[in-house]
C-alpha cells in the first residue's frame, strides 16, 4: 500500500508539471539563439548548492551529475519535481517586461542492484529550452495612402530532452566508477508572424520546425576518503561530443493554415565534449560543503542547419563554477525534533552562455541558490524546496538584462524493495 501511495503521488506530480508546461508563458530572450538555453538537473540537493553535484555522495539522493555516485544506493529511489520562474527583462532603453513560466525539472529513478556496491540510474530531463517572444513595429510605404504600420512577432517554443540509463560500481572501499548511455532528442519551432493594421492586407506566419536526435555517453569517477567524523570526495566526469542529426521544415501561410515551402532539409549539429570536476567535504553528518567546475568548448561546435545566431563568431566557450553549504543541526539523529532534522542549504554559481548575440561578448549568469530539505513521516522520503535569485546578461551594447527568481519543489521517495521476507 505504501509503494502504491508513493507512485500515485509521483504520478500526480508529473501530470501537474506536464499541464503547467503546456500553458507556460514567455521565457528568456536568450533562449532564441542556437539550440536554446541549456539546462541540467543533478538533484534537488545539488541544485540548492549552486548546482555543484559531481562530487556528492548521498544515501538520500540520486546524483545525475556523476554516474559513479550511483554505486552508493541502499533504497529504490524515485524523484520528480517542477520549477517556477519569475523573470524581469529590461533593455537599454528602459523598457521592461515581467514574465512567469513553469517547467518540469526531471524524473529520476535509482535501483540498488547490490546494496552500496552496484546501482542503476535512469532519468528523463530537459536538455535545452526555447521559449521567447520578441515584437517590433515597422512601417510600409503604401504610396498615396502614406506609411502603413505593421508588426513582426518572433516566437520560439520547444527544446531538447535527455533520457539516460547507466550503472555505478564501487571498485574498492574508496573508489567508484560509472557510465551511462544518453539519448538527446526534441523539436524546436521558430515562428515569425507579420500582422497589419489594415484589413486589406493578410497576416502571415512563417514557421521553421527543427527535429534533432543523437546518442552519446557519460562517464565518471569518484574517490572517497573517510575518517571517524569526516568524509572527503574528489570526483570528475564528462560527456562525449555528440552529433545531433536532424531535419528542418519551413512552412508559410495565413492564420493557422500552413503550406510547406520546398523539401525537408537534412543536417546536423555538433555538440562539444562536457567536462566537470569537483569535491565535497562531509563533517559529523551535520556539515556538507560541495564545489565544482564545468567546461564546454563551444567554440569548436558546428552545424549545417539554420539556427538563429549559431555561427562561429557568436559561439563562446562555456565555463561554470559553483558551490554551497548544507547544514543539518541534528546530523543523523532520527529522534531529534523536526526543525533540527531539516537540511538548510545555501550556494552560488557563475556561468556564461555558449552563444552570444554580440560577437566577442560573454553573456554572464550569476545567481545565489538555497533551500531546505524537509523530512517526512516515511523513512527515506524528503520534500525539497529550492530557490535561485540572479541575473543574466546586461543592457550594454543594446542587449537585455534578465533578473530572475526561481522556486522549485521536488519529491524524493526512497523505499526498500526486492527484500525477501524471512520467517522467524
- End-to-end Cα separation, the chain, in angstroms: 23
pLDDT of 378: 86
In a domain, 424, yes or no: no
- Is the CB of residue 293 less than 8 Å from the CB of residue 278? yes
In a domain, 233, yes or no: yes
Dihedral sign from CA coordinates of 50, 371, 128, 95: negative
Q: How many CA atoms lie within 13 A of 324 on its CB side?
A: 30
Strands 175-196, 147-170: pairing kind: antiparallel
CB atoms within 10 A of CB 167: 17
365: nearest Cα among 87, 82, 54 = 87
In a domain, 97, yes or no: yes
Cβ-defined contacts of 360-365 (< 8 Å, 24+): 361/397, 361/399, 362/316, 363/30, 363/316, 363/392, 363/393, 363/399, 364/392, 364/393, 364/394, 365/390, 365/391, 365/392, 365/393
Contacts of 192 (CB under 8 A, 6+ apart): 152, 153, 154, 155, 205, 206, 207
**How far is the C-alpha of 355 from the C-alpha of 394, rounded, in Å?**
15
In a domain, 423, yes or no: no
**How far is the C-alpha of 99 from the C-alpha of 84, rounded, in Å?**
11
In a domain, 422, yes or no: no
pLDDT of 14: 44
**How far is the C-alpha of 278 from the C-alpha of 273, rounded, in Å?**
17
- Written as nine digits, the cell of 392 is 543574466
Buried-state track 174-196, b at ≥16 Cβ within 10 A, e below 16: eebbbbbebbbbbbbbbbebbee
Judging by beta carbons within 10 Å of its beta carbon (0-12, 13-18, 19+), is residue 229 exposed, middle or buried? exposed
- Is the CB of residue 140 less than 8 Å from the CB of residue 194? no
In a domain, 130, yes or no: yes
**How far is the C-alpha of 62 from the C-alpha of 389, rounded, in Å?**
24
pLDDT along the chain (424 residues), means of 10: 44 40 61 94 95 91 94 93 91 83 90 94 95 81 71 90 97 96 96 80 85 97 93 97 95 67 86 97 95 97 94 95 97 90 97 92 95 91 96 90 95 78 52
**How far is the C-alpha of 405 from the C-alpha of 201, rounded, in Å?**
42
- Written as nine digits, the cell of 37 is 538555453
- Written as nine digits, the cell of 67 is 554516474
pLDDT of 417: 74
Give me the CATH number covering residue 327: 2.40.160.60
Query: CA-CA distances (angstroms) from residue 169 to 60, 183, 234?
Result: 17, 22, 16
pLDDT of 419: 55
pLDDT of 149: 82
**How far is the C-alpha of 96 from the C-alpha of 79, rounded, in Å?**
36
In a domain, 421, yes or no: no
Question: Domain span at residue 54?
Answer: 2-415
Backbone angles phi, psi at 25, to 5 degrees: -90, -160
CB atoms within 10 A of CB 303: 20
pLDDT of 120: 97
State the total domains in the chain: 1
Amino acid at each position: 500500500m505504501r509503494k502504491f501511495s508513493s507512485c500515485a503521488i509521483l504520478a500526480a506530480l508529473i501530470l501537474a508539471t506536464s499541464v503547467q508546461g503546456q500553458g507556460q508563458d514567455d521565457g528568456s530572450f536568450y533562449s532564441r539563439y542556437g539550440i536554446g538555453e541549456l539546462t541540467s538537473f543533478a538533484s534537488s540537493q545539488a541544485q540548492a548548492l549552486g548546482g555543484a553535484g559531481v562530487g556528492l555522495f548521498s544515501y538520500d539522493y540520486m546524483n545525475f551529475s556523476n554516474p559513479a555516485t550511483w554505486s552508493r544506493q541502499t533504497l529504490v529511489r524515485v524523484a520528480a519535481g517542477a520549477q517556477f520562474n519569475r523573470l524581469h527583462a529590461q533593455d537599454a532603453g528602459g523598457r521592461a517586461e515581467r514574465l512567469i513560466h513553469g517547467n518540469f525539472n526531471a524524473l529520476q529513478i535509482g535501483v540498488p542492484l547490490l546494496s552500496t556496491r552496484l546501482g542503476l540510474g535512469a532519468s528523463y530531463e530537459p536538455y535545452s529550452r526555447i521559449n521567447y517572444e520578441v515584437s517590433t513595429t515597422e512601417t510600409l510605404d503604401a504610396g498615396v495612402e502614406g506609411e502603413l504600420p505593421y508588426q513582426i512577432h518572433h516566437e520560439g517554443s520547444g527544446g531538447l530532452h535527455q533520457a539516460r540509463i547507466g550503472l555505478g560500481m564501487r571498485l574498492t572501499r574508496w573508489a567508484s566508477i560509472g557510465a551511462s548511455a544518453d539519448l538527446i532528442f526534441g523539436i524546436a519551432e521558430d515562428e515569425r508572424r507579420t500582422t497589419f493594421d489594415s484589413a486589406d492586407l493578410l497576416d502571415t506566419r512563417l514557421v521553421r520546425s527543427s527535429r534533432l536526435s543523437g546518442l552519446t555517453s557519460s562517464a565518471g569517477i569518484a574517490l572517497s576518503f573517510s575518517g571517524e567524523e569526516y568524509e572527503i570526495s574528489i570526483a570528475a566526469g564528462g560527456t562525449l561530443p555528440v552529433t545531433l542529426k536532424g531535419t528542418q521544415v519551413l512552412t508559410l501561410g495565413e492564420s493557422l493554415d500552413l503550406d510547406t515551402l520546398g523539401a525537408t532539409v537534412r543536417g546536423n549539429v555538433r555538440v562539444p565534449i562536457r567536462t566537470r570536476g569537483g569535491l565535497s567535504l562531509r563533517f559529523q553528518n551535520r556539515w556538507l560543503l560541495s564545489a565544482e567546475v564545468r567546461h564546454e568548448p563551444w567554440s569548436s561546435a558546428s552545424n549545417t542547419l539554420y539556427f538563429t545566431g549559431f555561427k562561429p563568431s557568436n559561439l563562446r566557450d562555456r565555463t561554470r563554477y559553483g558551490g554551497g553549504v548544507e547544514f543539518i543541526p541534528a546530523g543523523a539523529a532520527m529522534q531529534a525534533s523536526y526543525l533540527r532534522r531539516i537540511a538548510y542549504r545555501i550556494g552560488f554559481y557563475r556561468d556564461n552562455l555558449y552563444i552570444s548575440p554580440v560577437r566577442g561578448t560573454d553573456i554572464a549568469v550569476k545567481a545565489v541558490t538555497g533551500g531546505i530539505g524537509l523530512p517526512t513521516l516515511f523513512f527515506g522520503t524528503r520534500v525539497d524546496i529550492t530557490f535561485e535569485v540572479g541575473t543574466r546578461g546586461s543592457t550594454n551594447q543594446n542587449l537585455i538584462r534578465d533578473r530572475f527568481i526561481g522556486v522549485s519543489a521536488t519529491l524524493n521517495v526512497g523505499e526498500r524493495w526486492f527484500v525477501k521476507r524471512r520467517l522467524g
